[in-house]
Structure 1
Amino acid sequence: MEYISTRGNVGKIGFIDAFLMGLADDGGLLVPNEIPAVSAEKLKQWQNLSYQELVLEIFSLYTNDEIPQEDLKQLVNDSYATFRDPQVTPVRKLKDGLFLLELFHGPTFAFKDIALQFMGQLYTYVSKKLNKKIHILGATSGDTGASAIQGVRGKEGIKICILHPNGKVSKVQELQMTTVQDENVLNLSVEGNFDDCQRIIKDLFADLDFKSNNHLCAINSINFVRIMAQTVYYFYSYFQVVKETGVEQPLNFSVPTGNFGDIFAGYLAKRMGLPVNKLILATNENNILERFIHEGVYKPGDFRTTYSPSMDIQVASNFERYLYYVLGEDAAQIRELMDSFKRNGEIVIGGEALALVQAEFAAHGVQGQECLDTITKYKAETGYLLDPHSACGVSATEVRSGQGEVTVSLATAHPAKFNEAIELCGIEQEFPEQIASLFNKPQRQTMVDGSQEEIVRELVKFYNA
């Protein structure tokens, strides 16, 4: 297994080099040069594995034995040892035909923990093995930052800086990042929105001299290891639903998404051989991706602040990976499209390519009141409390799932992380102790304007301290 860029100007590289490169040096995104195929026979062999055992099987398809098997096993076990459920990502039945994949049992109560706890362990491993300084730089719409910080806080040889949009994450998300006092952690609270933060991150990674001189490594889903780790729970949940229903059939997966990373992991799982019917893309009022699925037009609009802030994203960083595959792995065409997008602010596809998109995906943009109504409805009817992102996923299943189909909807966060929306539903919830204790801790963050120059100054000062 070797890795190449969607834009075609990075030679084939190995797994660890791809992990450390993060964003491809030509500005594209790294992908495997060949998607591994998993046979029906192999799926049967995997169906009774524990989550950790399944991780090892899937990772082994991508890592080229660059990490000795015993070391990889230790990394995996350490990554998931802190999860509160022994299944790591358990599946709950909400009603006939609808299952909920709970992805919030990690240390920061969000789905980002699944990949980022492993990436934290892997960065620590690589830093020690290669005697290499690692400076992690990332942007967050709320959950990535807390999870990434949790994965590497206090680790020798590693520093981490996270940009988050000031006032545009939930209070709990902010506290999970800014109450961490370890000296190897810097939180920059940026005036602007997540797209502004993400654009600055991409620009800094595209500056190859700055990237090299400052030992930059990526934690966002521009890093393929994020995607690789997230494919596992698609396979795992499929096996759990088959056991529950006793029927082997392709499943729908409904995925709350803003950056296209989590749903791209589902697409990758399908390409590997997982029996998937439709991937249902659930967005909120920032519904650029919904319009793309329906019309083939990818064009950012006016940014909206919503009840599901982790999805308040207009420019999805993983979208380029999907374009690469749906347009026939044509790197020259991707270069041209992304250059055009930078100039004109839109991408348009049609014909056979759009037909293929619509064969693989469905989409629904969940409006604010619809999100709150879904939370209220399912609490009343089932006793289950959905966070607003998970509610968008469930709401989309009601609109886009066909008669007789079975759907797994991804529950991406614990409701305690988004109490602002829960209170609007007239629901009082009890916070887990780990979250309740955050409100009594001092915060540490640096306020910056949205200029790249000021952010660079803070980064250089932090990295050289």
Structure 2
Amino acid sequence: MRYISTRGEAPALGFEDVLLTGLATDGGLYVPESLPHFSVEEIRSWRGLPYAELAYKVMYPFVEDAIPADDFRKMLGETYSVFSHQAVAPLVQLDTNEWVMELFRGPTLAFKDFALQLLGRLLDYVLEKRKQHVVIMGATSGDTGSAAIEGCRRCEHVDIFILHPYQRVSEVQRRQMTTVQGDNIHNIAVKGNFDDCQRMVKESFGNQSFLGGKTQLAAVNSINWARIMAQIVYYFQASLALGGPDRSMAFSVPTGNFGDIFAGYLAKKMGLPIAQLVIATNRNDILHRFMSGNKYEQHQLEHTLSPSMDIMVSSNFERLLFDLHGRDGAAVKDLLERAAKGPVSIEDYRWKHARKLFDSDAVDDKTTCDTIRDIYEKNEYLLDPHTAIGVRAARNCRRDSTVPMITLGTAHPAKFPDAIAESGLVVKPQLPAHMADLFEREERYTVLDNNVSEVQGFIAKHWKNA
């Protein structure tokens, strides 16, 4: 399988190179040249498979040119054996035909573990084969950083530099990153917001001269295709558990960077019957404003109780725009260049085509807290603020009550105690046993100004072979 850029000017690459490259040389994101497609009969035959084996069925077509089948199966078995629930992604029922899929059973209590536990193993495999060393540079709005560090910290061939917005992630999220010890692990707190961190990462990938030609950057953000690939699997898992593929499903996805919901879009294109995808956002509602009114316009970023979605530049949205424009890279490049200068819209027929599958909603902090309290009082089930936004958006946007609605539960509530407290509940979410001493562990991070040259200089000085 070959991978092509959403901007049409970069060379097509195989899986190994896409894994290590991240951003394409033309500034675009890599997508498969073509997708595998599974028949209803084939999907039905996967009922009852353990999660790791289902993951093999869904993902192997994307990597088969690079990784032997037995090696990939072993990798997947190791990846999902560290999750705390045998089902890996268990479903919890909230109401009639309404469910939450718990994606926070991995080691860092967030859905990012599904992809980043695998990404670390993929990097180790490919870098060992190539006898190559890389520098991982990533930006996080909260959860990607800890999941990336946990997934990659044992990799012998990487140095990890994770940027997070200073004082704009929850304390649990910060400590999960900054208390992991290792000579190859570097946390950078940038005096800015997530979009500033993400911009620095993209700019650095575009010009890596600050590394002096001695190594290259590798991506852990969802610009890396391997992240998207791994997230496709749990859509199949949820569907098969609730009667799919013989009935359609609807999914509500808390999203800021559009990666997790784009994986659901791909699952549908690969043959999984999905009737509706709900984009659930907070006050940073650029995706909702586009999907509800065909207007893509950046506003000032706001700090909310759901910090992992405090994003205004949704990188993976470019992948959907590529499809909506008939995979015309030049058209996508032109649109995004205009979007950087002001509001843009797409042709009405393209927007209406997207609306056949997608709905959206933006949920403010008060409504988020109301939803946390309401669900707990009725079900004794505690939602984190991101999942609460997903549940509220699902209820506001639901098209057909006979279709199962599944909200992706993206994080453990213990990561966001301030939001739980603000909802008026006296219950205090507890960290799992393996994190019980998190607040006693020593932290280590560096605060830097919102300046790309300063950040690049820090990386150039501190990677292993500098």
TM-score, scaled relative to structure 2: 0.97
Equivalent AA in structure 2 for residue 265 of structure 1: A
Cα offset, 1:341, TM superposition: 2.2
Distance 1:435 1:386 in 2: 19
Do 2:210 and 2:457's aligned partners in 1 also have CA atoms closer than 8 Å?
A: no
Q: How does 1:433-448 map to 2 (within 5 A)?
A: 433-448=433-448
1:31 match:
31
Over residues 392-414 of structure 1, what are the superposed CA-to-partner deviations in whole Å (9 max), with x where a residue is unaligned? 00001110112333201000000
State which of 266, 269, 273 in structure 2 corresponds to 1:268: 266
Do 1:119 and 1:226's aligned partners in 2 also have CA atoms closer than 8 Å?
A: yes
Equivalent AA in structure 2 for residue 205 of structure 1: F
Cα offset, 1:154, TM superposition: 3.6
Distance 2:301 2:209 in 1: 32
SS at match of 2:100: strand
Equivalent AA in structure 2 for residue 377 of structure 1: D
Cα offset, 1:88, TM superposition: 0.9
- Is 1:427 aligned to residue 426 of structure 2? yes
Distance 1:102 1:218 in 2: 26
Q: How does 1:1-150 map to 2 (within 5 A)?
A: 1-150=1-150
Do 2:210 and 2:456's aligned partners in 1 also have CA atoms closer than 8 Å?
A: no
Distance 2:265 2:290 in 1: 16
SS at match of 1:12: coil
SS at match of 2:416: helix
Do 2:251 and 2:405's aligned partners in 1 also have CA atoms closer than 8 Å?
A: yes
Assess, with a 3 A threshold, how the Cα gap between structure 1 residues 461 and 54 changes in structure 2: closer, same or farther.
Answer: same
1:380 match:
377
Cα offset, 1:50, TM superposition: 1.2
SS at match of 1:46: coil
SS at match of 1:348: coil
1:252 match:
250
2:388 match:
391
Q: How does 1:213-252 map to 2 (within 5 A)?
A: 213-242=214-243, 248-252=246-250
Cα offset, 1:115, TM superposition: 0.2
Over residues 359-407 of structure 1, what are the superposed CA-to-partner deviations in whole Å (9 max), with x where a residue is unaligned? 1100000111100000000101011100000000000111011233320
Distance 1:26 1:349 in 2: 22
Do 1:291 and 1:297's aligned partners in 2 also have CA atoms closer than 8 Å?
A: yes
Assess, with a 3 A threshold, how the Cα gap between structure 1 residues 187 and 417 changes in structure 2: closer, same or farther.
Answer: same
Distance 1:296 1:160 in 2: 38
Over residues 134-167 of structure 1, what are the superposed CA-to-partner deviations in whole Å (9 max), with x where a residue is unaligned? 2111000000000000011143221100000001
| The 10-residue stretch of structure 1 (160-169 or 127-136) with the greater mean CA deviation from structure 2 | 127-136
Do 2:257 and 2:316's aligned partners in 1 also have CA atoms closer than 8 Å?
A: yes
Distance 1:77 1:15 in 2: 20
RMSD across aligned C-alpha pairs, in angstroms?
Answer: 1.3
Over residues 143-199 of structure 1, what are the superposed CA-to-partner deviations in whole Å (9 max), with x where a residue is unaligned? 000000001114322110000000110000000000111111000000000000000
Cα offset, 1:431, TM superposition: 2.6
Equivalent AA in structure 2 for residue 186 of structure 1: H
Do 2:15 and 2:65's aligned partners in 1 also have CA atoms closer than 8 Å?
A: no
Cα offset, 1:11, TM superposition: 2.2
Distance 1:434 1:376 in 2: 27
Equivalent AA in structure 2 for residue 90 of structure 1: P
Cα offset, 1:69, TM superposition: 1.1
SS at match of 2:10: coil
Cα offset, 1:210, TM superposition: 4.6
SS at match of 2:19: helix
Distance 2:343 2:61 in 1: 35
Over residues 417-456 of structure 1, what are the superposed CA-to-partner deviations in whole Å (9 max), with x where a residue is unaligned? 0011011122322332233311001100000000001101
Do 1:154 and 1:184's aligned partners in 2 also have CA atoms closer than 8 Å?
A: no
Over residues 291-336 of structure 1, what are the superposed CA-to-partner deviations in whole Å (9 max), with x where a residue is unaligned? 0001111111121111100000000010100000011111110121
1:361 match:
358
Do 2:104 and 2:110's aligned partners in 1 also have CA atoms closer than 8 Å?
A: yes
The total of aligned residue pairs comes to 461
Do 2:208 and 2:216's aligned partners in 1 also have CA atoms closer than 8 Å?
A: no
SS at match of 1:19: helix
2:410 match:
412
Equivalent AA in structure 2 for residue 216 of structure 1: L
Equivalent AA in structure 1 for residue 94 of structure 2: L
SS at match of 1:199: helix
Over residues 226-280 of structure 1, what are the superposed CA-to-partner deviations in whole Å (9 max), with x where a residue is unaligned? 000000000011001117xxx9321110000000000000011111111001100
1:280 match:
278
Do 1:137 and 1:216's aligned partners in 2 also have CA atoms closer than 8 Å?
A: yes
SS at match of 1:409: strand
Percent identical among aligned pairs is 44
TM-score, scaled relative to structure 1: 0.97
- Is 1:370 aligned to residue 337 of structure 2? no
Do 1:3 and 1:30's aligned partners in 2 also have CA atoms closer than 8 Å?
A: yes
Equivalent AA in structure 1 for residue 75 of structure 2: L
2:347 match:
350
Do 1:250 and 1:277's aligned partners in 2 also have CA atoms closer than 8 Å?
A: yes
| The 10-residue stretch of structure 1 (26-35 or 202-211) with the greater mean CA deviation from structure 2 | 202-211
Over residues 68-124 of structure 1, what are the superposed CA-to-partner deviations in whole Å (9 max), with x where a residue is unaligned? 111111111111121001111111211111011100000000000000000011111
Distance 1:428 1:113 in 2: 26
Assess, with a 3 A threshold, how the Cα gap between structure 1 residues 208 and 439 changes in structure 2: closer, same or farther.
Answer: closer
SS at match of 2:242: helix
Distance 2:184 2:97 in 1: 46
Do 2:296 and 2:343's aligned partners in 1 also have CA atoms closer than 8 Å?
A: yes
Structure 2 residue ranges without an equivalent (≥5): none
